[in-house]
Amino acid sequence: MTRVRRSVLFMPGDSLKKITKAATQLAVDCVVMDLEDGVALDRKEEARQTVLEAGKTLDFGSREKWIRINPTSTSWWQDDLAETIEARPNAYVIPKVESAQDLQQICDWLTQAEKERGWEPSSIELVGIIETAKGVLCLPQIVAATDRLSAMMFGSEDLAGDMGAIRTPEGWEVFYARSAVVTAAAAYRIDAIDTIFADFNDPEGLQKEATVARQMGYSGKIAIHPRQVPILNDAFSPTEAEIEHATKLIAAHDANQAAGTGAFAYEGKMVDMPMIRSAQKILAQAQATGQRNQDSSSE
Ligand code: COA
Ligand code: MG
């Protein structure tokens, strides 16, 4: 099943107001309650309690409930898990992942927790953030680390800091990593979620960056402000023109197959299986976003 993860909104875990707004009012696909860098050092404990309370009591509707913990290199991650597990998140988001072991130790902890509670094994998913040079180098091991991994996220700001790179609007300084993350995710058929766009008063800039991310294969992008959410939902949904084109292409393909033809010409261009597979993907996305009915793919 194609999942819709276009807008992934972060908010500080100690802000019940922002969590409530995201979980109950905003049209976000994923709500990420943060315990890491969005929370002041002296508010970590308070944030855990707020996240627990919000996670247990609010109705998130169809939105995914995610919690970002602190990295496994800190002394906080186990308490982050222990004190929020009863919120029963759909996934934990793990920052600064640098090795398969980073994820495996969290898996071990979750396996035990699920067992103790009689919850379905491996029902809690993981999302790993690649945002250090070492994380980029170790991507092949990291994506293969566990079946719990359901998405990879790219973090450009921490990465630039780690590399001593200077951020530019074009982003060429982090392009290798941005491309590596989406490629690794594709290899394991999991989602890739693109980095933040910090200027929440620049809708055109965000739209442009999101369009490139979608062209690269990203399924969505991090949002840090409600204003960014509709822009991302739109940028990562197939356009009407794409859906119509895909529908026609598949009909033409079906007719050619029935006539015993593989590759064929359509509107002056050669069409064969790779284009048909992308067309099928567009239709699956259109169904997942509700832009088309479940049974309209054979129109
Ligand atoms: N999630 C949910 N609601 C949010 C939000 C977010 N990330 N950011 C802002 N809001 C809400 C505000 O509470 C406010 O709600 P109201 O109109 O009901 O009162 C409304 O959206 C407008 O917010 P605004 O006043 O423009 O922004 P702000 O000054 O309150 O906050 C930031 C600005 C940057 C501090 C805030 O957007 C934020 O906390 N972003 C996420 C930061 C984060 O998590 N960083 C770490 C991960 S990258
Ligand atoms: Mg970070």
CATH number, position 133 = 3.20.20.60
Number of domains in the chain: 2
- Return the H-helix or E-strand segment holding 241: helix 240-258
Residues 194 and 217 in one domain: yes
Predicted pLDDT of residue 163: 98
Residues 151 and 195 in one domain: yes
Residue 99's SS3 state is: coil
Residue 37 CA: which ligand 1 atom is closest? 46
Measured in whole angstroms, the distance separating CA 141 from the mean position of its chain's CA atoms is 19
- Give the domain-ending residue among 200, 219, 235: 235
**Is residue 1 included in any domain, yes or no?**
no
Residues 231 and 244 in one domain: no
**Is residue 200 included in any domain, yes or no?**
yes
Predicted pLDDT of residue 295: 65
Residue (of 236, 177, 198, 212) closest to 28 by Cα position: 236
Ligand nearest to the Cα of 71, by number:
2
Is the minimum distance from the CB of 11 to ligand 1 under 6 angstroms? yes
Residues 58 and 205 in one domain: yes
Predicted pLDDT of residue 48: 98
What digits encode the pLDDT tens for the residues 204-252?
999 999 999 999 999 999 999 999 999 999 999 999 999 999 999 999 9
% of the chain with per-residue pLDDT over 70: 98
> Which 8-state DSSP code applies to residue 149?
E
**Is residue 2 included in any domain, yes or no?**
no
Report whether 158 contacts 96 (CB < 8 A). Answer: yes
Residues 64 and 193 in one domain: yes
User: Does residue 80 carry a catalytic annotation?
Assistant: no
| Residue 195 CA, ligand 2 centroid: distance in Å | 9
Report the mean per-residue pLDDT for the chain. Answer: 96
Is the minimum distance from the CB of 17 to ligand 1 under 6 angstroms? yes
Residues 215 and 288 in one domain: no
- Give the domain-ending residue among 204, 235, 266: 235
Which residue minimizes the CA distance to atom 11 of ligand 1? 18
Residues 101 and 187 in one domain: yes
Predicted pLDDT of residue 294: 78
- Give the domain-ending residue among 191, 218, 235: 235
Residues 69 and 125 in one domain: yes
What digits encode the pLDDT tens for the residues 17-72?
999 999 999 999 999 999 999 999 999 999 999 999 999 999 999 999 999 999 99
- Return the H-helix or E-strand segment holding 129: strand 125-130
Predicted pLDDT of residue 15: 98
Residues 276 and 136 in one domain: no
> Which 8-state DSSP code applies to residue 172?
G
Handedness of CA 55, 64, 77, 106 (dihedral sign): positive
Q: How many CB atoms lie within 10 A of CB 62?
A: 7
Residues with Cβ < 8 Å from 57, sequence gap 6 or more?
none
Which residue minimizes the CA distance to atom 14 of ligand 1? 18
Task: Using most ligand atoms within 8 A of CB, pick from 17, 21, 69, 232 the residue to mutate for ligand 1.
Answer: 21
- Return the H-helix or E-strand segment holding 65: strand 64-68
Give the residue-averaged pLDDT of 101-112: 98
Active-site position among 108, 147, 199, 272: 272
Q: What is the extent of the structural domain holding 249?
A: 240-296
Residues 175 and 50 in one domain: yes
Query: In terms of C-beta density within 10 A (0-12 exposed, 13-18 middle, 19 or more buried), how is residue 252 classed?
Result: middle
**Is residue 275 included in any domain, yes or no?**
yes
Predicted pLDDT of residue 100: 98
Residue 176's SS3 state is: helix
**Is residue 115 included in any domain, yes or no?**
yes
Residues 116 and 151 in one domain: yes
Residues 31 and 106 in one domain: yes
Residue (of 65, 182, 70) closest to 124 by Cα position: 65
Predicted pLDDT of residue 299: 42
**Is residue 145 included in any domain, yes or no?**
yes
